[in-house]
Amino acid sequence: MTSRSLTPDADAGMAGDSLGREAWRRLKQNKAAMASLWLLATITLVCVAGPWLTPWGLADVDWNAFGVAPTLDGGHWLGTDANGRDLLTRTLYGGRVSLSVALVATLVSLAIGVLYGAVSGYLGGRVDNLMMRFVDIMYSLPFMFLVILLMVVFGRNILLIYAAIGAVEWLDMARIVRGQTLALKRREFIEAAHALGVKDRKIVTRHLIPNAIGPVIVYVTLTVPKVILLESFLSFLGLGVQEPLTSWGVLISEGTDMMQTAPWMLLVPSVFLALTLFCLNFLGDGLRDALDPKTR
């Protein structure tokens, strides 16, 4: 198990460029992943271009259509909400918020969590102990007050809220990556790299993290729905999006209240969310295979 894992890094000079190209080539061969990628791109594009696609604005009220079911004539293809606003339009706008929350928060949690966990696990001993106690502390703090405080200090800034969510979600990621690192670092290929005098920094970034990529990618795909729904709780507190702007999480929780009387209000945003998650999942699996150093 040593030699193969070591070789790509023995000539690390050319790795950066060809690694990406190689992975991309392999990803392209995965049909499910590519279909997901295209669908995800389409959803994103539709959400971004939303305002020009529907005849209604975000806050436009159709005074003749309060809570009407989806219909082809009348212009509300996916129905209206209780306030007479076009649900398709609002779902598309909501997608902008939710997709960007998911993107920013996931990236933040990925960046902090993976590096933190890998360093902690690799260095081990007292450093690991200290770093993990800090994680314990972060876990234990009441999230709601943490976010409120951030808002008090920095003002009502939507980007900051995204970052706050990411700053909480990285904890699980750090614990998982650290666990993987603890197991990996005793393997021969890491010890061999160590013996060869490869720098710690390089061992972490070139050997440990790529070998922990599988669980990381899966956990990322699990983080996305969590983050999107967490945002709706923050909106409840008045810390997320404010009316008339909305998000998928907010639309879904509003729809739950109307579940029995106007099911489309729950179904429409839920379908968008579910589709996105399915795509992310298949794309994640494809990426994992493409990036896996063992199968390279």
Chain positions 117 to 176 lying near other proteins, rule: CB under 8 A, are 124-126, 129, 132-133, 135-137, 139-142, 144-146, 148-149, 152, 171-172, 175-176
80 SS3 class: strand
Nearest by Cα to 228 from 184, 289, 272, 198: 272
Count of residues that interact with other proteins, criterion CB under 8 A: 79
Scan residues 269-288 and list those touching other proteins (CB under 8 A). 270, 273-274, 277-278, 281, 285, 288
How is residue 3 written in tokens? 């030699």
Decide if residue 91 touches other proteins (CB under 8 A).
no
284 SS3 class: helix
* Cβ proximity to other proteins, 22 vs 254, nearer residue: 254
The strand pairing partners of 80, in sequence order, are: 86
Nearest by Cα to 176 from 107, 226, 117, 109: 117
Give the shortest CB-17-to-other proteins separation in angstroms.
25
Phi, psi (degrees; rounded to nearest 5) at 76: -100, 85
Contact region for other proteins (CB under 8 A) — 9-17, 44-52, 96-104, 216-224? 216-224
Give the shortest CB-175-to-other proteins separation in angstroms.
5
Give the shortest CB-117-to-other proteins separation in angstroms.
9
How is residue 269 written in tokens? 């945003």
Decide if residue 214 touches other proteins (CB under 8 A).
yes
Q: Using an 8 Å Cβ cutoff, are 9 and 193 in contact?
A: yes
Q: Using an 8 Å Cβ cutoff, are 124 and 203 in contact?
A: no
Decide if residue 217 touches other proteins (CB under 8 A).
yes
Rounded-to-integer distance, Cα 293 and Cα 193, Å: 15
* Cβ proximity to other proteins, 85 vs 96, nearer residue: 85
Which letter does DSSP use for residue 86 in this model? B
* Cβ proximity to other proteins, 78 vs 135, nearer residue: 135
Decide if residue 1 touches other proteins (CB under 8 A).
yes
What b/e string do you get for 42-71 counting C-beta neighbours within 10 Å, with b at 16 or more?
A: ebbeebeebeeebebebeebbeebebbeee
Which letter does DSSP use for residue 94 in this model? H
- Contact with other proteins (CB under 8 A) among 13, 16, 21, 63: 63
Contact region for other proteins (CB under 8 A) — 7-15, 45-53, 97-105, 235-243? 235-243
- Contact with other proteins (CB under 8 A) among 82, 111, 159, 196: 82
Decide if residue 70 touches other proteins (CB under 8 A).
no
* Cβ proximity to other proteins, 2 vs 49, nearer residue: 2
Contact region for other proteins (CB under 8 A) — 21-29, 42-50, 102-110, 242-250? 242-250
